[in-house]
Each structure stands twice: as structure tokens, then as C-alpha cells.
Chain A
Amino acid sequence: MTARGPIGGPHTHSGASVGRTMGLVAVALVPATAYGLYAFGWPALFLFSGTVVAALLWEALSLKLAGKPVRLFLFDGSALLTGWIVAMTLPPWAPWWIGVLGAFVAIVLGKHAFGGLGQNVFNPAMIARIFLLISFPVEMTQFLEPRPLLSPGAPGLAESLAIFVFGHAGFDAISSASLLGTVKTALGQGTALPDILSNSHGLLPLAIGAVPGSLGETSAVLLVLGGLFLLATRVITWHAPVAMIATMAALSGGFHLADPARFLDPATQLLSGTFLFAAFFIVTDYVTAPATGTGKLIFGAGVAFLTFVIRTFAAYPEGIGFAVLLMNATVPLIDHVVRPRIYGRTRSGEPIRYEER
């Protein structure tokens, strides 16, 4: 901040602030989060709180080490959100150290190693997710059926604390794979898709979130609700989400039509896993997405394309994390190539010419 002359215009301001923007994102996350906490009970609540608190602590530590004003940045909401989003992508009964480690990777390695707020190339939450997935494949893929808070099968407070501290190996939870995981495994064993899906939940539970999955990613409906809120408050633009959804629908639709026994239908693709969560809360991250509308369209489409390829042809059942990180790397290039057209100039930057007057 050196290039400041005497006080300059404008001498009035919209009132927008980083804190306000982050606050709106948080509000948008509330429905899906609340549902996740309800569906997976006390252990999820512990994990969520632990991860968020850890994120704030890591942030404070990083700021201190970097010599930045801790108070100013700690409460700008960005660390809170990062922690929150990391928590939402975790298996709901994962032990505490998964959350703390995830927050560490996201905040310290994903954000501050790049220079702090606004400087990171990769989405911190996705870095954390991929790091955890590769390092702890078992802990990170143990999902379970929802056990709503206070329902008969749900663990009590003490039990929940034990799950949080030691993991749920001791608790007789029927852990199961996510739908995408099940499909991948079964397809690998040569089962045809219709047979696999006939044993699964069906689309409606997938939409409302009555299925095994990450803490905050299961309820498609509530995620879309949050996304619409962000669109309405103009925190995000439609470009990336629409491009992502449309591309996935088109790709998976095409393949599904060609061979319904091998390729999942578009609805299942869109509703399962992290897809809608990413469409509204990950690819819309300001820092790691392109700046222009066209750039965002390319970015969203790219994420969907890579996700489809990874889900369908690679070893991982869910590909969004990788897809986002790969596309993050292309953002500087996209922003370099796709620029808004300057007033009075053609796309190539030459002054506009009119026919001889």
C-alpha cells in the first residue's frame, strides 16, 4: 500500500465490505449446515465447531507470524468461512484431528503460504479436502446413514464426545460408502447400473439429503436455496454455477443415453456428492475463480467436465476436489485471455472504426 497520493475520490462509498460479503455467504450456508448437524447429531456438531475454531486459531497464528494486524483480519470472516466450508466437506463423524488438520492445511498451507487473503491460487478448502483424502483414505470415506439428533439410534452426548475424540470405530455405526463410492465399486465388480441403483435410496432422499454423505453436502435442496440467496444478494453471479450444472447435465446425459447400464443419469450426477455444494460455494469463490463473466463460464464448465471425467473414468468416486484444483491453476491464464472489452475499442484492443462519415 505505498502508491497513495493525497486523499482522492470517490468521497463516498457503497458500504460494501469484506465482512459483509463473508457474512452473507455464511447466512447462505446456514440451512444446509443446520440440516447436516441435525442429521448427523452431536458428533457432527463437535467436529464442525472444532474445525471452525481451529481455523480461527490457525489464522491468528499465521497473521501473527506474518506480522499482519490480527484483529482486522481475524474478524473479516474469511477464516471463519474457510473453516466452515472445510467442516462441511468432512465425513460427519470424523475425529477431531481430521478437522484440525484440515483447517491447518486450508488456512496455513492453502492461504497464508501464498501470501494471505486474496493471494491464494487454489481453493483452500479443496486443498484440505484432497490432502485429507489422499493421506487418510479410510477416515475420509467412512460415511454413515443420517441419525438425526435425539432419534433412537443417535449417540448421546458422552458417546458423541468419545466419537469426536477417538473416532467412531468403537461405536456400532453402520458405516457405508457414499452413493458415488458404491456405484464405482459395484461397476468395478461388473454389476450393471440399474441393479446397483435399485438397492440405493432413489432421487428424492438424494435431493433432501437423507443419504450418507459429508457433513454439509447432502441436502441438495438446501444448498440450492443458499445458492439462490447468494444470487439474489448479488454476492455471486450466475455464470459459474450455471455453466457447471449445464455442462454436467449435458455430458452425463449424453453418456447415459449412449449406455444407461454404465453411465449414471444426469439427475444422480447433479444431486450426489459435492456437486451442488461446489457449484454454489466453491467455484464461486472470488479469489480462485476468473474475474469476468465469460471467464467464469469457462471455469464452471471446466470443473464440471473434469469432475465427470474423474467420476466416470478415474479411480476416485468423487472428482470435484481435483477438478477444482486443476481449474484453479488455469485461472491466471483465463483472466489473461478473457478480458472485458474496453469502451471504444474492439475485442482486440484497437479503437472502434465506423464507416467513413
Chain B
Amino acid sequence: MKLFRISGGIHPKESKELSADRPIERLPLASVLRIPLQQHIGGPAVAVVDKGDAVKKGQILAVGRGMVSAPVHAPTSGRIVSIGRFVAPHASGLPGQTITMRPDGRDEWGELPAPIDAFGVDPAVIAERVAASGIVGMGGATFPSAVKLNLRNRHKLDTLVINAAECEPYLTCDDRLMRERTAEVVDGVRIMRHGLGVGRAIVAVEANKPAALAALRLAVAAGGFADVTVVEVPTRYPMGSEKHLVQTLTGQETPARALTADIGIVVHNVATAFAVYEAVRLGRPLIARIVTVSGGAITRPGNFEVPIGTPVSHLVEQCGGFRGTPERLLLGGPMMGQPLASTRASIVKGVNGVLALAAAEAPTGPIMPCIRCASCVAACPCGLAPFDMAARIRKEELDGAVRIGLLDCIACGSCAWVCPANIPLVQYFNYAKGKLTAEQRTKHKQEETKRLAKFRADRLEQQRKAKEEAMARMKAEREAKKRQAEAAARVEVEG
């Protein structure tokens, strides 16, 4: 297949060798699981179990709320010990609504929905099952997958792209998944293709995963699946960025502020495809995922199948604990991963890696003034001028930064990675984006308040008017009555 070049991008040190050769291991269950109700983009799920309830593995714990949401299921059998707020696996460390359960050790499945004859049903049935299984984008985006499958209703689509680039350094969970569960992955890809209602699927894998590529190609050839193409894409960060991957494959840029669906393509992560396979063929909801645990400060790096809700501390213990004090503890890859506030936080659907970086692996150089070397401009895959945006943000000229493209920044971090002055460019951008969102929210709120106030004023005015009118009417009536009475009296007198 002919591939197209994206502009910008970088080649960070891969460090995948730390865990690439370690087969997926199943972890012993943690003594307690903490399952956040918000593991996806959209509305948090709403608990349908109560404290003290006994639940079976796969049983629904919380239902999705609203158009964009996802349910949450029990990762094992056990008892609900509490429903309340707990540290969310997020940089802020702010607590979020969480179900805490204590496994009973029997790991007993509850009643599961029946398997679906994937290719014999309407695509809508597949999407429905995907929604009911709580499947979200497992590459980290965590957008509910069913919503994306249903894009077929509103867009003219032709291709499903499976993102198996795994361009973040260190991470090998997708690589292992493709190598060890190849047939299932390919089946999942085909089911998704059908569920999306398109004729072809492209599985894009970065060239640094030859074993996965070979395994996939073999499985596709053996099955004689003409609808699936396995494509080797160049190893170049951020190849896994949805829009850049699509451009690499088709040469087409997704218009700004639009979806890849607008050019006929929907992108799903390869781990999502595996989850879809399990949901459709086995009726199993998304209750576990593969996680890479790696970094110089991890004693025994590896890839693990981890029940959702497992505390990070349990996972780290199973890897032999830390080697020295980790300089940085992250969820996700080193480029876009989130610093972890506490190892008490749990593994959620979107977490593909737990990294404990040693001091030598983390950036340490002093922050210097920008020397305008323009390395960041060359590295930016979105055609932005990061140094210029940062300079404007530093002067609090947020509108100026927006004018030159701040909102088109995908926060990939390529610019900061190359910057010889170690300027925390992405932090500037996040700061500005956060502030803009807050401002917008305040503005929205103010407008809402204004609207409500006006509404109230109008209503009062109306009430006042109505009252006045009523009083006037009553007065008129009273006077009319009085006149009548007087008239009657007069008649009597005169009569």
C-alpha cells in the first residue's frame, strides 16, 4: 500500500526492549478493587448496586448515563464494600465516584448475554452489544466505542482503521496482544468493520513491531480475509495520532475542527478490537485490560492482564516493587502520559501503561530562555509555531495564541521533546487551554445567570401586570356593582 508522509514528528528512544519479550501474565487478584464510575469521556455511570451487595464477575455495577457514556461491570465476583469518592487515576488526584469491592476469590462469572453471530446480524446489533459491554477507546482516548461505531448513521464511511501504531515509547501491551491473541484480534477487527458498516479495515502497525506484523499477516492470509489489510507504517511519533495515522494511510488531512469520519474513516484502537471480540463472541464485558509496566525504576518490567480497578500499588508489587525511588510515576506513555498522584489510584479502561522512570530517563536539564532555534517548529506534526504560542501565553495573550493555532495543538509533546532550552511548552499549552475552557465556562455561566435573571424579571413583570390588571378589573367590577346598587336604591326611593 502506498503511504504518505506526515510533516514533523520525532524519534524518541523507544525503550520497548524492556518489556517487549515478556509474555502477557495474569495477575493474582488484589484484595480490593476500586472501580471509578468515570472511566470514559462523557457522563459518569450511575451505580445500580448497593453497599453490601454480592456481585458476580461480569455483572453490571453502573449504567451509562446520557448519549455519550459507558456502563461499568464487576471485574470479578465479590462484595461491594462501599460506593463513594476516591482518588481518581488522574494528574489532579481529585477524588471521583468509585465503587469499592472485595473479591471473594472464586472469580465466578455471572450470567452473560448470549454470543452474537457477528456477521449474520445488523451492524446496529454489534454497536448495541459494544455499548452494553462498556467498551471505550483503549488507546487512552476512552471515547465510548459504540458512539464511534454509530457514526455510520451520520457519515458516509468507507474504511475502518485499526490503530496499532503504539508509537509511545516503553509501551508494548498492544504488541503483545497482537502477537499472543492474533486470531481474536483479527476477528475483533472484522466484527468492528461489520459493526461500522464499511467494506474494508486497515490495521496499521509501526515498523518496530515486526513480530506482530508477521503474526497479523499470517492470520489474515490463513483466514483468507480480503477485507483486512495489515500495513506497516513508519516508526515515527506521533504516528498513533488518529488524524496523522489517517493521513499516512490515505494522504488526506482531516479538516481542522472535524472528525476523520468527515473523510470517511473511523479509527479504533487495536485493544478495543480485542475487547469487541470478547463482547460479541463470548458475551464478556470489558473488565480487564493489558497493561505494560515498565521503566528503569521497575524491578521486573512486563505486560499484565489486569482487572479494571486493580490498585497501581498492587501491580507494582507484583513486578517486584520499585528499584530506587522513581523520578516520575506515570499512567500511559512518557510522551503523553499523566503523572500519577498516588499509587492508590486504580487501573482503568484507558490505561495502557504504568511507568516508573528512573532519574536518568526523565528530563532534568535546566530551563533556559528560548533561543528561537525553531526545532519545535520543525518537530510539530500540526504545523504550529510552538515557541511563538508559548511566548504569547507567557504574556497572557491567550487570544493571540489561539489565533496562531493553540486549539489545533494535539498536545503530543514533540516540540518540548526537541527543545534544547527544555522549555515546558506543553505545560504552557495546557495552562492556556485550561484557562480558556474555564473562561468560557464562566462566560457561559454568566450568560446563563443573565438569562435566568431576565427570565425572572420578565416573569415578575408579567405577574405584576397580571396583578394590576386583575386589580383594575376587580375595582371596575366593584364600582359597577356599586353603581348598580345605587341605581337600584334610587329606583326604590323613586319608586
Contacts and interface: CB of A to CB of B under 8 A. Distances in A.
Nearest to A235: B373
Nearest to A16: B420
A76 B92 CA distance: 35
A242 B336 CA distance: 37
B263 A8 contact: no
A3 B256 contact: no
Given A291-B385, A341-B383, A352 B253 contact: yes
B387 A17 contact: no
B426 A352 contact: no
B152 to A, nearest CB: 14
Given A7-B339, A343-B382, A17 B422 contact: yes
B476 interface: no
Contacts of B335: 9-12
Nearest to B257: A351
A278 B374 CA distance: 19
A229 B39 CA distance: 51
A122 to B, nearest CB: 13
Interface residues of A, number: 46
A135 interface: no
Contacts of B431: 3-5
A219 B214 CA distance: 55
A291 B415 CA distance: 14
Contacts of B258: 344, 351
Given A12-B362, A342-B405, A287 B387 contact: no
B372 A343 contact: no
Contact of A339 (B334, B355, B385): B385
Interface stretch (B28-36, B107-115, B279-287, B363-371): B363-371
A345 interface: yes
Most central of B262, B330, B427 by chain A CB within 10 Å: B427
B12 to A, nearest CB: 6
Nearest to A12: B334
Interface stretch (A84-92, A113-121, A123-131, A243-251): A113-121
Interface in B234-268: 243-244, 252-258, 262-264
A12 B361 contact: yes
B203 interface: no
B374 A286 contact: yes
**A1, A14, A119, A353: residue with the most chain B Cβ atoms closer than 10 Å:** A14
B416 A117 contact: no
Given A344-B255, A357-B156, A9 B381 contact: no
B24 interface: no
A138 B252 CA distance: 62
A61 interface: no
A12 B13 contact: yes
Nearest to A356: B156
Contact of B413 (A9, A345, A357): A9
Contacts of A353: 255
A342 B256 contact: yes
B428 interface: yes
A190 B309 CA distance: 91
Contacts of B363: 10-13
Contacts of B169: 12
Contact of B375 (A16, A76, A116): A16
A117 B367 CA distance: 12
A208 to B, nearest CB: 32
B263 A354 contact: yes
B383 A14 contact: no
Interface in B141-163: 156
A351 B357 contact: no
A344 B257 CA distance: 8
Contacts of A116: 369
Interface string A330-356: 000001000111111100000111100
A21 interface: yes
B421 interface: yes
29 contacts: A4-B427, A7-B339, A8-B424, A9-B334, A9-B337, A10-B335, A10-B413, A11-B339, A11-B363, A12-B169, A12-B335, A12-B361, A12-B417, A13-B365, A14-B417, A16-B375, A17-B421, A21-B371, A21-B373, A76-B368, A291-B385, A292-B385, A339-B385, A341-B383, A344-B254, A345-B383, A351-B257, A354-B255, A357-B264
